[in-house]
Amino acid sequence: MPWRGPAEDGEFPTLGYDVGEWIEAHVVIPDGYRQGEPYRLTDEMWKFLVHFYRLYPHAEPWPAPDALRYTGAQLRRSQKWGKDPFGAAIDLAEGLGPTRFDGWNARGEPVGAPYPTPLIVCLGTSEDQTDNTWRPLLNMIRLGPLINLSGMDAGETRINLPSGGRMEPVTTSARARLGAPMTFLTLTESHLFTLQGGYRKVCGAVKRNVAGMDGRWLELTNAWDPTEGSEAQVTAESGDDRVYVDTVEPNRVVDLTDDETLYAELLRQYGDSARERGGWVNIKGRIFHEVRSSRHLEADRRRFFLNEIVVGESVLVDPIRWDLAGREDALVAGEAVALGFDGSKYQDATALVASRIADSRLFCLRVWEKPQGAGRDWRVPGPEVDRVVRDVFAAYRVAVLYADPYRWQDYLDQWAAAFPKRVVEFNTNVEQRMDRAIERFVTSFGEGELTHDGSPHLTRHIKNAVLVKGSRKKPRPGEEDSVTTHYLKMAKRGEAMLIDLAVAAVLAHHARGHAIEDGFQTTAPEPMVAWR
């Protein structure tokens, strides 16, 4: 007989309740303090399952096609909401549970059955990403009742199921394995499946492969950077009415230091996973700290924790707070300083900035910019730059000069000879080294420790500078892996906007920090003699 019809407004037939009950009866919590306890679905998870396993009212069992309303889904939530363990639980249900429509019972209720020989793949762009779903999945089997099923073999790289089916983790580099007849696919962190590297092309291929088996797919993702053209963005913006997209659209928090507004939005985003609602996420503890940590790009913090779709860059410093940090001040002859130098020969500027050792105040000593209307033959006046640098060493007690040697190597060699052990080459294109300098600068400014002389030139360059992602890096112990994945780099906010004074300021501040760490005394009569 067909479906019985809705018992209340808005009701539709679904296998979601049966799938959820199977998960709660067979799956355990994979890790943490409650490892091994029964896995309990939150209301938000129940809602997702009910929709994802929605049936057409006139569905017919196999071999009739299209019993399920949705061919794919995207679950977009904040970091640590529980997407990956939830995806692992769904993978297990797809391998062993009642996820295939098998007809209507005598009461007109839908009946589910396991797929006979499923092939379920956890796909990621790297092994670390596939592990986000694969490791919880393994523990859900090994620590719970599923391990006792006859024929269950939960290996590190493949799970053989009692039915003869299997589950396995696959990266995008394993092109041959991606051609296998998949019945269900999870894409871990689909915001990282971008055009660069050909990841989007792989996604298209595997989704077509799944479609050929009348299978389905599920994307697990954070908010994406709209400049990267990720699979997550394409899915969400496709308008495909056979793809179920589940997210909590964010209300933008303008000021991340606004406790009340920030807390309300975090609670809204984390929903049932928040500790205040019986979940596991401590919003007022670690999450609050991470959202405000200047060690990470603001754009990343907004994407990973506040679920905002924002471009992966952020201002170097808050422009309003920068204006408030200005002071009418000038260096006095003989004061101890550290210097930062960023040079150019042609289009960009050449800049020299001092950081006073005593209080970290920044001073714009000189900037050479191409004059308006100057032709292509204009060059930075090298001899003039040389004279100013030497005058600065004579006028002040310079602890050290950090200088980018690009196009200025000859002069740096001369300065190093004239001022032994006080001139250090600092290649700004070495990402790991520059990342530390930027982090020191941003952190000091965020904590109110950094002021400046109010120079309009320095201010303009500082406000022109943004932070962008560099190469991937390994996280520090205790850092969120998904947040701290790239080195910080400085870039221009616009094509013609100069940032050389900003770079020089970062180098000067970093030089000051190292000078103090290495024992430089503001009242010492001679400059230090040892540099790292």
Q: What average pLDDT does this structure show over 372-378?
A: 80
Residue ranges per domain, the chain? 16-246, 259-310, 320-517
348 to 343, 451, 499: CA distances (angstroms): 8, 25, 8
Give, in words, the CATH class of 320-517: alpha beta
Q: What is the spatial distance between Cα 185 and Cα 39, in angstroms, rounded to a whole number?
A: 21
Q: Tell me the per-residue pLDDT of 465-502, one tens digit each, with 9 for 90 and over.
A: 988 877 777 666 655 454 446 788 898 877 678 999 99
- Per-residue pLDDT reduced to its tens digit, 432-450: 999 999 999 999 998 899 9
Residue 186: C-alpha distances to residues 129, 195, 482 (Å): 11, 19, 18
Count of CB atoms within 10 A of residue 138's CB? 19
Of the candidates 193, 148, 186, which has an alpha carbon nearest to the alpha carbon of residue 167?
186
3-state helix, strand, coil in the chain (%, to 5): 35, 20, 45
End-to-end Cα separation, the chain, in angstroms: 81
User: Which of 194, 176, 184 minimizes the C-alpha distance to 133?
Assistant: 184
Kindly give the pairing relationship between strand 397-403 and strand 336-342: parallel
Token digits for 258?
């606004």
User: How many other C-beta atoms can be found within 10 angstroms of the C-beta atom of residue 34?
Assistant: 13
What tokens appear for 307 in the block? 């679920």
- 249 φ, ψ to 5°? -60, 130
Beta bridge partners of 432: none
Pairing of strands 465-472, 486-492: antiparallel
Identify the CATH homologous superfamily for domain 16-246. P-loop containing nucleotide triphosphate hydrolases (3.40.50.300)
Q: What is the mean pLDDT of residues 211-224?
A: 95
- pLDDT digit string (tens) for 155-184? 999 999 999 999 999 998 876 677 788 999
- pTM (2 d.p.): 0.69
